[in-house]
Amino acid sequence: MNIEKTRTKAMRLRRKTREGGIAYRALTIIGDRHPWYDWGHRLMILVGEHRTGSFDAPRGRDLWYRFADENEAHGQIITTHDYADVRATDGQDVSWRIFDVQDEGGTVKLGFWGERITHYGLSRRELALFRRWDLWECRARGEWFGLRRWLYFKGLHAAVYLKRPFACNAVPPMGSGGYSHWHCEVRGKHDTHRYRNYTWARAERVRYEEVR
């Protein structure tokens, strides 16, 4: 079985698995079309947070919560990570609040859920809920106490600064109009470096060549 058929079969099997699960990730890696030496993208698939078909920086899941009977002092705190549960109460006299993770896990916004998040202070009950959510959902489950994020950004750096094995891998000089992650993909002896459609030589500015 050739590699193209293997990739196609893997992507078909992926439809039968739970999105974001281990089997889903393994089949995504098998069906991945990046070069064999691009381990960075595959590491991002393995440890990234699966969201709407992509694998983003690991972070905790947003938490929606409300008080039963709108009783903030004694009412049961009802929580969910599924926005469908929030939508199901549309038209009812209930008010949801949210711990909203933003900026790739670097910021948490707190507020009443609506078209815009209206900020508010936390009661002691809410503060206890926030501490549990931050420790378990964000730090433990979402980030593996920093290891998952470290692995993800290690893969991201490798994917951006991808180097082709046995190629020149020189980068454009500073001020030449190129970028530091443009590694020359030419193998063997050559006078002009090339990254995709961009070329440069010593002491020359980067040039763009049209695809013929």
**Residues 153-180: tens digit of each pLDDT:** 999 999 999 999 999 999 999 889 999 9
> Based on the domain organization, do 79 and 181 belong to the same domain?
no
CA triple 138-140-145, angle to 5 deg: 100
Domain range for 94: 63-142
Q: In the sheet where 193-195 sits, what is the strand order? A: 193-195, 198-200, 207-208
- What letter does residue 138 receive in the DSSP assignment? I
> Based on the domain organization, do 49 and 112 belong to the same domain?
no
> Based on the domain organization, do 155 and 204 belong to the same domain?
no
Q: How far is CA 201 from CA 127, 177, 205, 207, in A?
A: 60, 12, 8, 9
The average confidence (pLDDT) of the chain is 91
> Based on the domain organization, do 68 and 91 belong to the same domain?
yes
- Both tokens assigned to 127: 């503060």
> Based on the domain organization, do 152 and 125 belong to the same domain?
no
Task: Give the pLDDT band of residue 121 (cuts 50, 70, 90).
Answer: confident
> Based on the domain organization, do 90 and 32 belong to the same domain?
no
- Residue 137 near residue 108, CB atoms below 8 Å: no
Task: Give the pLDDT band of residue 146 (cuts 50, 70, 90).
Answer: very high
Summarised one tens digit per residue, pLDDT across range 29-67 is 999 999 999 999 999 999 999 987 889 999 999 999 999
> Based on the domain organization, do 77 and 51 belong to the same domain?
no
> Based on the domain organization, do 73 and 114 belong to the same domain?
yes
Task: Give the pLDDT band of residue 119 (cuts 50, 70, 90).
Answer: confident
Smallest CA-to-CA distance from 96 within 116, 73, 112, 119 is with 112
E strands present in the chain: 49-51, 54-56, 63-67, 77-80, 97-102, 107-112, 193-195, 198-200, 207-208
pLDDT at 52: 79
> Based on the domain organization, do 128 and 75 belong to the same domain?
yes
User: Coil, helix or strand for 162?
Assistant: coil
> Based on the domain organization, do 46 and 76 belong to the same domain?
no
> Based on the domain organization, do 114 and 129 belong to the same domain?
yes
Residue that is last in its domain, among 132, 160, 188: 160
Q: Give the number of domains in the chain.
A: 3
> Based on the domain organization, do 118 and 168 belong to the same domain?
no
Distance (Å, rounded) from C-alpha 56 to C-alpha 41?
A: 11
- Residue 163 near residue 155, CB atoms below 8 Å: no
